[in-house]
Copies of this chain bind each other. A is one copy, B any other.
Amino acid sequence: MANNRTSSASRDILPEPTLRRLPWYLAYVSLLKESGVEYVSSTQIAKEINVDASMIAKDLSFLNIKGKTRIGYEVASLERELQDFLCFKVEHNAVMIGVGSLGNSLIQDSGLVNYGLDIVAGFDIKPDKVGQQVCGVPIYDISELKERLPELKAEIGIIAVPIDHAQEVSDLLVDAGIKALWNFSPFRITAPEGIVIQNTSIYAHLAVMYNRLGLSKAMNREK
């Protein structure tokens, strides 16, 4: 990313698994920096966070970050480059669609701001929510979405509605001019080409966890 003429091309091909690992490296490197460590090798990162060292080196090479032989990566510059690349220090405005239990919780999670996400408004259909505020964030009627979006300058729509409204809400958001959909509902939404979709079904992770837990119990019984 950092170099001359292939910057957009290298950005094109950055695989999603790599992108998802970069915040792990950033988290660990930030810890090292706080402890005053100056250099770190991919082997050391690998050991601490349980990711293959060669994968770490490869992931970082996508960003044109290269370690020095025998010294490794300079911690401070590695942190800065990861931070710049991940855009966690850039403010991204977002709107929350659905201010039920999960939507409410996400608006209240001040941690998101530290990762560059600023939820500037919520939208709902329930009369008892519309006109209220959650942590200072105004809640509007969903029918006002298209009209209010330009002033809100939001490119990201967060979807926290029941599954039977997820697709409908996605269509509304796209029609209103939203460029990225962050879907927390377990319904798998679809959108026109060019719209960024991230499905974060925390329930899918529960499914994996329950299954693996059941499996380890079954294995223990067999022992």
A71 at the interface (CB under 8 A from B): no
- Per the 8 Å Cβ criterion, residues 1-55 of A in contact with B are 8, 11-12, 14, 16, 19-24, 26-28, 30-31, 34, 48-51
Please give the distance in Å from A164's CB to the nearest CB on chain B. 6
Name which of A124-132, A136-144, A180-188 contacts chain B.
A180-188
- Per the 8 Å Cβ criterion, residues 160-190 of A in contact with B are 163-164, 179-180, 182, 185-188, 190
A149 at the interface (CB under 8 A from B): no
Give the secondary structure class of A's interface: helix
A86 at the interface (CB under 8 A from B): yes
A187 cross-chain contacts in B, Cβ below 8 A: 24, 27-28, 31, 49
Known: A23-B186, A109-B105, A215-B11. A198 touches B208 (CB 8 A): yes
- Per the 8 Å Cβ criterion, residues 36-85 of A in contact with B are 48-51
A198 cross-chain contacts in B, Cβ below 8 A: 205-206, 208-209
